[in-house]
């Protein structure tokens, strides 16, 4: 049965017997082998097929291998194609130098060692395959986002029609409530896309990390792998923003003084906004404590500051204020109580009523093409909502914009800093026996490969039921890493079942969503997808240290 995932390898040699020998050597790879008897035929094949790697004989009539390589590299479409020179005669150091100057990634002498040639070609064929898979997944992500955006638009239109009917009866007061309901419905659709792609990105990033460790020292492989990893990281950043808007991001809340956080951001804000923006702050003399994720709040303030900068192309003022505010029961959508308000005020171009109304919608942006994702303000909304707070915006064209973030005032004291830093490097390298549980086969296998590469022994279960059997059968299992969203038995349900007979077995919950189901009292360490090998290593070290 043909391999539908095979790639094309071009063999260039003017001697048919040598072409046959290359075919015999490389046929074990299961790839598509395409022959060319001259440089002219090679160029025709390159224009006709997508080629992963080219084997070129150096000594050929008409155009030799060096001249062919120069023509290939001169074409914009073929600048990154790996070329391997093969020669029985041109084997001097000068020949090798000339070959590398023409863009070759390797220079193989004849007689060829079959195992060595297969290994060299296999690396570049696999790299090409992974790069193409990543491109297809990115294209699929864009398609899915476009589909969901259309769904969001339809949902928005339906919701707006219902709101217009209610507005006649209730006037200006539940309009605010309506906006929150609309964002909630949009967030549900957005979160679904992000969850699906967190699984895909976990697989992609883990495989790229492992390939990079093995082949990253090669300049060409390292460059191609680096580009692929950066593309995958961009996808991961996009899903994090989508989950933030959907209020399903992984938060690490802590009690802290936002005044100290804002003061610590001064240098970063000045560097980010540039000399044309004057930054001032009024943080008040009294410390006000809130409970939120300080890293996410810092990112939210930076996002709002960058939006303000874009609204002041000729320069202006950015003011950050901090105040306490008591809210009574009539203030919607906040509950009555004491709040801390962080205000970000700019003197920019401002927004009209229509733009202000849509400002927090995902993927809505007034910036030009490729200058914004339309998710920055949505992410801020998600963070504040997950922290039991609220965001209020006011703006007028020509009079700037004010964004106010309300967080409940915390009565708790911030925790004391640890007396010393954990020394986890040596601990992370201690081999353990780990059970990986995930109903997505590719995700489970990718996590297993990362753990095995770290020296751990790994068992895999593709369901909660099978995981229970393995924990019973293998007493040597020292850690369980399980997905949460699985059919039949969720990760939380699996953890609860394991705790009944192995209460001290560490269990880590990995998921593309934040938050456990209501009513869950299990205290489980969390690992948000997509995660990398270093994330696994640090988590395992912290669990071992805690024991």
% the chain with pLDDT above 70: 80
Nearest to 412 by CA among 542, 263, 253, 191: 253
- Tokens read off for 52: 């992963």
Confidence bin at 191 (pLDDT 50/70/90): low
Confidence bin at 379 (pLDDT 50/70/90): confident
Rounded distance between C-alpha atoms, residue 453 and residue 480, angstroms: 17
| Per-residue pLDDT at 135 exceeds 60 | yes
Higher pLDDT, 150 or 187: 150
- CATH, domain range 425-546: 3.40.50.2300
Nearest to 345 by CA among 380, 298, 395, 388: 395
Residue in the block written with tokens 């949505």? 378
- Tokens read off for 186: 């949009």
Judge: domain 254-408, CATH 3.30.565.10. Answer: yes
Which long-range contacts (C-beta less than 8 Å, at least 24 apart) are formed by 270-277?
A: 272/302, 272/305, 272/306, 272/309, 273/305, 273/306, 273/308, 273/309, 273/318, 274/309, 276/312, 276/314, 276/315, 276/316, 277/308, 277/309, 277/312, 277/315, 277/316, 277/317, 277/318
Q: Where are the domains of the chain?
A: 8-112, 145-245, 254-408, 425-546
490: Cβ contacts below 8 Å, ≥ 6 apart? 464, 484, 517
pLDDT in tens, 419-458: 434 444 455 568 899 999 999 888 899 899 999 999 999 9
Q: Structure pTM? A: 0.44
Confidence bin at 367 (pLDDT 50/70/90): low
Confidence bin at 62 (pLDDT 50/70/90): confident
Decide: residue 359, CB within 10 A, 0-12 exposed, 13-18 middle, 19+ buried.
buried
Confidence bin at 195 (pLDDT 50/70/90): low
Tell me which of 3.40.720.10, 2.40.70.10, 3.40.50.2300, 1.10.287.90 is the CATH number of domain 8-112.
3.40.50.2300
Confidence bin at 480 (pLDDT 50/70/90): very high
Q: What is the mean pLDDT of residues 402-417?
A: 81
pLDDT in tens, 282-301: 998 888 899 998 878 888 89
The residues with which 508 forms a beta bridge, in sequence order, are 481
Bond from prior residue into 52 cis (ω within 30 degrees of 0)? no
Rounded distance between C-alpha atoms, residue 525 and residue 291, angstroms: 20
Give the range among 79-83, 202-206, 439-443, 452-456 with minimum mean pLDDT: 202-206
3-state secondary structure 455-499: CCEEEEECCHHHHHHHHHHCCCCCEEEEECCCCCCCHHHHHHHHH
CB atoms within 10 A of CB 481: 25
Higher pLDDT, 116 or 165: 116
Higher pLDDT, 82 or 188: 82
Confidence bin at 513 (pLDDT 50/70/90): low
Rounded distance between C-alpha atoms, residue 529 and residue 483, angstroms: 10
Do 254-408 and 8-112 have the same topology in CATH? no
Higher pLDDT, 202 or 29: 29
pLDDT in tens, 212-254: 877 777 888 778 777 777 777 776 666 665 555 454 555 678 8
Confidence bin at 528 (pLDDT 50/70/90): confident
The residues with which 318 forms a beta bridge, in sequence order, are 279, 346
């Amino acid at each position: 049965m043909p391999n539908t995932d095979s790639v094309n390898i071009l063999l260039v040699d003017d001697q048919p017997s040598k072409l046959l020998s290359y075919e015999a050597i490389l046929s074990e790879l299961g790839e598509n082998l395409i022959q060319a008897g001259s440089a002219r035929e090679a160029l025709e094949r390159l224009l006709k097929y997508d080629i992963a790697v080219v084997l070129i004989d150096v000594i050929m009539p008409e155009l030799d291998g060096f001249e062919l390589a120069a023509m290939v590299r001169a074409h914009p479409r073929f600048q990154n194609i790996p070329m391997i020179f093969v020669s029985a005669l041109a084997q001097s150091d000068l020949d090798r130098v000339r070959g590398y100057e023409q863009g070759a990634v390797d220079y193989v002498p004849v007689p060829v060692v079959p195992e060595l040639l297969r290994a060299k070609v296999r690396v570049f064929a696999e790299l090409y395959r992974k790069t193409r898979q990543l491109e297809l997944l990115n294209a699929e992500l864009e398609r899915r986002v476009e589909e969901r955006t259309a769904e969001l638009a339809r949902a928005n239109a339906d919701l707006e029609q219902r709101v217009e009917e209610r507005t006649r009866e209730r006037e200006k007061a539940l309009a605010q409530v309506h906006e929150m309901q609309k964002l909630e419905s949009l967030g549900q659709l957005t979160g679904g896309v992000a969850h699906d792609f967190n699984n895909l990105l976990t697989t992609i990033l883990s495989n790229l990390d492992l390939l990079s460790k093995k082949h990253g020292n090669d300049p060409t492989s390292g460059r191609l792998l680096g580009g692929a990893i950066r593309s995958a990281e961009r996808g991961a950043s996009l899903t994090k923003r989508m989950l933030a808007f959907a209020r399903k991001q992984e938060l690490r809340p802590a009690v802290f003084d936002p005044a100290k956080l804002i003061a610590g951001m001064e240098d970063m804000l000045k560097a980010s906004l540039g000399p044309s923006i004057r930054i001032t702050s009024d943080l008040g003399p009294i410390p006000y404590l809130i409970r939120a994720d300080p890293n996410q709040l810092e990112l939210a303030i930076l996002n709002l500051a960058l939006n303000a900068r874009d609204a002041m192309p000729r320069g202006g003022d950015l003011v950050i204020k901090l105040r306490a505010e008591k809210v009574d029961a009539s203030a919607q959508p906040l509950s009555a109580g004491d709040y801390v308000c962080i205000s970000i005020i700019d003197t920019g171009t401002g927004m009209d009523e229509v733009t202000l109304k849509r400002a927090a919608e995902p993927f809505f942006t007034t910036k030009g093409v490729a200058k914004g994702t339309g998710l920055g303000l949505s992410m801020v909304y998600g963070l504040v909502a997950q922290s039991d707070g609220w965001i209020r915006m006011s703006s007028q064209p020509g009079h700037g914009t004010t964004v106010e973030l309300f967080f409940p005032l915390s009565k708790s004291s911030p925790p004391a800093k640890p007396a010393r830093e954990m020394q986890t490097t040596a601990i992370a390298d201690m081999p353990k026996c780990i059970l990986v549980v995930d109903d997505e086969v590719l995700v489970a296998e990718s996590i297993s490969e990362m753990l095995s590469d770290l020296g751990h022994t790994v068992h895999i279960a593709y369901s909660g039921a099978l995981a229970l059997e393995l924990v019973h059968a293998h007493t040597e299992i020292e850690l369980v890493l399980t997905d949460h969203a699985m059919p039949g038995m969720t990760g939380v349900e699996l953890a609860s079942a394991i705790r009944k007979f192995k209460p001290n077995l560490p269990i880590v919950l990995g998921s593309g969503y934040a938050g456990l189901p209501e009513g869950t009292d299990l205290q489980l360490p969390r690992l948000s997808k997509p995660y990398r090998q270093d994330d696994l290593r640090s988590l395992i070290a912290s669990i071992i240290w805690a024991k």
